[in-house]
Amino acid sequence: MQLFDNPASPFCRKVKVLLHETGQIDDVEILFAVGHPTAQAEMPTAHNPLGKIPSLLRDDGPAIYDSRVICRFLNDRVEANLYPEARIWETLTLEATADGIMEAALLMIYEARCRPEDMRSAEWVDAQWDKVERALAAIETRWMSHLSGPLDMGQIAVGCALGYLDFRHSARNWATTFPALAEWYTTFAQRPSMQSTVPTG
């Protein structure tokens, strides 16, 4: 299998953390891709018409894409139980919440990188950060017991989302506002799978 990846992407990081946690990292060749919505020349558009990463080329079928789809496929491939039936809806909702944080944080970056300076909207950027803060508040209020339970994809997604906030938006200092979540992340970030996938770029 081949995975189109960029080491700065939190969505790609989710997939790579799963690969490490489930012992599948050596089964996948990592292919570098770079781009954004207005510069897609080096993105895998031949395999993913949306031109997004991660995209996974399988040995026995067409490419699959969207990090949640890829993670479900890789989880089922080795019966890893990162989507446990006993708490499947909680796990999926937490993963979706974390993905929403990543998306909002990434859109903030795109606003600066993709739009001409005279067309950028500080209000729009602040609205994206409002989404992030609401999601972090929901996690700290409702999900701490889940984060402290057995490892699942919800935890991995939250860990990658928080790592991306530190990577791209450290000046906003989310950890000061959400100390319980920050304490959890400090421990989670020490997992070998997280240490092996620290974002760069």
pLDDT tens by residue, 109-135? 988 876 777 787 899 899 999 999 999
Q: How confident is the model at residue 152 (pLDDT cuts 50, 70, 90)?
A: very high
Q: Given a cut of 80, is residue 73 above it in pLDDT?
A: yes
**Nearest C-alpha neighbor of 139 from the set 186, 184, 77:** 184
What integer pLDDT is reported at residue 40 of this predicted model?
Answer: 62
pLDDT tens sequence across 8-36: 999 999 999 999 999 999 999 999 887 66
Residue-level pLDDT at 110: 84
- Domain boundaries, given as residue ranges, for the chain: 2-77, 85-191
Quote the distance between the C-alpha of residue 50 and its chain's center.
17
What is the per-residue pLDDT for 35? 65
Q: What is the DSSP string of the chain?
A: -EEEE-TT-HHHHHHHHHHHHTT-GGG-EEEE---BTTB-TTS-TTT-TT--S-EEE-SSS--EESHHHHHHHHHHHTT--SS-GGGHHHHHHHHHHHHHHHHHHHHHHHHHHHS-GGG--HHHHHHHHHHHHHHHHHHHHHSHHHHTSS--HHHHHHHHHHHHHHHH-GGG-HHHH-HHHHHHHHHHTTSHHHHTT----
Write down the mean pLDDT value for the chain.
93
Q: Cα separation of 41 and 16, whole Å?
A: 24
Identify the band that residue 137 occupies on the pLDDT scale cut at 50, 70 and 90: very high
The pLDDT of residue 118: 73
Sign of CA dihedral 186, 140, 8, 55: positive
| pLDDT score, position 116 | 77
CATH superfamily, region 2-77: Glutaredoxin (3.40.30.10)
Residue 61 has pLDDT above 90, yes or no: no
pLDDT at position 38 is 59
Instruction: Indicate the fold that domain 85-191 takes in CATH.
Output: Glutathione S-transferase Yfyf (Class Pi); Chain A, domain 2 (1.20.1050)
Mean pLDDT within 132-159: 97
* CA–CA dist 163, 177 (Å, integer): 16
pLDDT at 51 over 90: no
